[in-house]
Amino acid sequence: MVNVQDIMNKIEEFAPLSIKMDGDPTGFQLGDREQIVNRVMTTLDVRPNVVAEAIDKKVDLIVAHHPIMFHAAHNLDLASPQNQMYRDLLSHNISVYAAHTNIDKAHGGTNDWLMEELGLKNVRFLDENDDYSIGRMGETEKPMDLVDFAKMVRDAYHLSNLRYVKSDLGQKVHKVAIIGGDAGKFYPEVLKAGADTFITGDVYYHTAHDMMANGLNVVDPGHHVEAIFIKEMANILNDWKRSNKLELDIVQSEVDTEPYNFL
């Protein structure tokens, strides 16, 4: 038998909490660390429909990428959908753990998974002086037109569409940086690393102008591409289960938490 703490220890062996970004509420979120776990569910987000799925599947522990509590609750009024969700989790004895920026920075973590999907060459840390750099750099086989590269990203991540920004210099795509999620603020580091193209999500209007003016192409596939976590975290836990001959069910959430619809 394994408990919540055992699974937390395994995840943190792969992605230590010590490497998370400052202020990131990564780690144990809710529940009982000593609770025996028979079934784990991996998910990108913890939303009311994900909790309903966990209850239906008789899950004991949810392992999410995004923390359930980015901001402190100001009250426990059950009129709030967020508070209702906490109640449902606690009343069904479901614990929640989040592996966020620690797994983004970990070797073989989120940004490596996203880079692998693109098949880029010469993959390395964005900051080669940092053993746990937040981003990754890679190179295309040969320089590519930005539109062709954006289509490649779209297809690799199985998207119906994405946004892209062409730099004022109009250069080809060859040296590519990637940081999953909302990472437009890191564009100065991306430029310093010598990238001509930056893949990240949630790029803001004025930040896009700044990147254009500084000679950086941008491909914005959205935040939800981090849903790759669902499959890859399940793989990590299944490998651990097999190597230790554990009686533990690992299931992957089937709920789509992408909030946006596109015409």
Distance CA 167, CA 66 (A): 31
**By the 8 A CB rule, do 123 and 115 touch?**
yes
CB atoms < 10 A from the CB of 41, how many?
Answer: 25
8 Å CB contact between 208 and 38: no
The C-alpha atoms of residue 179 and residue 187 are separated, in whole angstroms, by 10
Annotated binding-site residues read: 65-66, 104, 223, 226
DSSP output for 1-13: -EEHHHHHHHHHH
- In this structure, the chain runs to a length of 263
Check residue 19 and report its DSSP letter.
G
Annotated binding site for a divalent metal cation: 65-66, 104, 223, 226
